[in-house]
């Protein structure tokens, strides 16, 4: 009877550890663990197309996490997406001519903003705008362009044979 009780306790502990691991994985994948980043300074970048970029997406520089996306809006005058980025305070020496691009990572295709440093000696501050931007590559657009080019190429080759 005591042996049976020990096995039940071990199985229960194993299941509890498994559930805790699943909760932590879910928090990591959904960026829920990033709610604590309220410090830093905000900068803005405007993009023609942001693809699937959402608030709380990571901002990286050379593969290192330097901040988060805090909001996505639409500029009705320029017809561009306005992305607000919060950069952590310890990264206060990012040049003003830094470029920003939207990329996709991981199996789930999470979008993130990647920064590439410029060469200016002035640095980004709160309220600065990153003017050099590269929009997201939307897979559907690439496939459509490929298929259209392929169809146009096939038709022209048939016409050349006659």
User: Nearest Cα to 70, choosing from 88, 84, 90, 52?
Assistant: 84
Q: pTM of the prediction?
A: 0.69
Q: What is the pLDDT of residues 43-98, one digit of tens each?
A: 999 999 998 899 999 999 999 999 999 999 999 999 999 999 999 999 999 999 99
Angle at 56 between CA 16 and CA 43, to 5 degrees: 150
């Amino acid at each position: 009877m005591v042996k049976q009780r020990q096995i039940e306790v071990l199985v229960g502990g194993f299941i509890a550890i498994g559930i805790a691991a699943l909760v932590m994985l879910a928090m990591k994948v959904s960026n829920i663990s990033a709610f604590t980043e309220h410090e830093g300074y905000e900068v803005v970048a405007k993009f023609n197309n942001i693809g699937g970029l959402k608030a709380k997406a990571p901002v990286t520089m050379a593969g290192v996490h330097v901040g988060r996306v805090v909001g996505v809006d639409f500029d009705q005058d320029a017809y561009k997406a306005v992305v607000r980025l919060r950069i952590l305070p310890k990264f206060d020496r990012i040049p003003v001519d830094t470029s920003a691009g939207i990329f996709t990572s991981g199996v789930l295709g999470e979008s993130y903003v990647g920064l590439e440093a410029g060469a200016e000696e002035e640095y980004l501050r709160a309220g600065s705008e990153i003017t050099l931007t590269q929009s997201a590559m939307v897979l559907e657009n690439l496939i459509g362009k490929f298929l259209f080019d392929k169809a146009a190429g096939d038709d022209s080759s048939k016409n050349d044979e006659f």
